[in-house]
Amino acid sequence: MTGSWTNTRNLGSTGLEVTSVCVGGSPLGSMPHLYGYEVSAEQAVAAVEAVFDGPFNFLDTSNAYSDGDSERRIGEAIRRRGGLPPGFVLATKVDGDRRTGDYSGARVRRSAEESLERLGLDHFELLHLHDPEVMPFDAAAAPGGPVEALVELRDRGLASYIGVAGGNLAEMAKYVATGAFDVLLTHNRYTLLDRSAEAVIGAAGSRGMGVINAAPYGGGMLAKGPGTQPRYAYGLGDISMGGTANAMQAACQRYGVPLAAAALQFSTRDPRIDSTVVGISTPARVAETAALLNHAIPTALWDELEALTPPRELWIG
């Protein structure tokens, strides 16, 4: 019988100690077009305060989530508490301008300044380059580009560590290979249904980079169940993923295990992954996530779930 726990781990070679679950701030700004529900400002602030009082010491957000509302709401919670709790790690991401498409080095610096103002901070522990695959890698890595600008922010002391966060694995591998980054964040590509990120996770780990795995529920399919969320990774996955998720859910039910617990622990039990990002938008979800993390799962169930893994050709890649 195996289970997980709310332990802290080294985030690669950064020196940061983070819990095995990282709270994802994407839903906090309210994105009903993506998640199917509204999140009020007061609910979001209350959720962040519950995170500060709970077992997890790591929260991840982004400049562009809900046009900055995620950061504004997190910043309000920080102000109400008089600062971040001791030992708490807050990460955010620089983003290109969603209106103009500008993702220059100058835009990276402006993005960081906007985030510092919204969050009420003067320094980032961890700052990611977010979704750089929207531009050619050669342009991103060129002099004056976003990679150089993010490295400069670290060198100036505005960020202790920098990471790269994105989905396209071929592009993520290029950024990992530069040696410029301290952390890799990948999403929707290392779950019960998809193992696409295996190679890039291994490459990052071999460089001593921290590895953060986001979206272990594949956009909700592995949390709410395929009957409620029939699209894997917001429609990126093959349509047959729903049938496999049904079979996995049935296997979990035979053992009295929530599908969400198996989906979460699939990621947190992997020693190559330092922290797993789970979106939270209500105070109650903090305790619910901790319960899923600690739910005992028999070895026999892990064997059944492994046997149900979709073939490589169905993975997002």
The proportion of the chain whose per-residue pLDDT surpasses 90, expressed as a percent, equals 91
- What is the domain partition of the chain in residue ranges? 8-314
Contact 72, 65 (CB under 8 A): no
| Domain formed by 8-314, architecture | Alpha-Beta Barrel (3.20)
Quick check: 4 pLDDT over 90? Answer: no
Residue pLDDT, tens place only, 257-275: 999 999 999 999 999 999 9
pLDDT value of position 6: 60
Quick check: 46 pLDDT over 60? Answer: yes
Quick check: 7 pLDDT over 60? Answer: yes
Residue 240 backbone phi and psi in degrees, to 5:
-75, -10
Residue pLDDT, tens place only, 196-247: 999 999 999 999 999 999 999 999 999 989 999 999 998 888 899 999 999 9
Instruction: Give residue 36's pLDDT band: very low, low, confident or very high (50, 70, 90).
Output: confident
- Position 45, amino acid: V
Question: For the chain, where are the alpha helices, taking DSSP H only?
Answer: 32-35, 41-53, 69-81, 105-119, 137-141, 146-155, 169-177, 198-206, 221-224, 241-254, 259-268, 284-294, 299-307
CA distances from 75 to 110, 115, 256, 285 (A): 18, 9, 39, 20
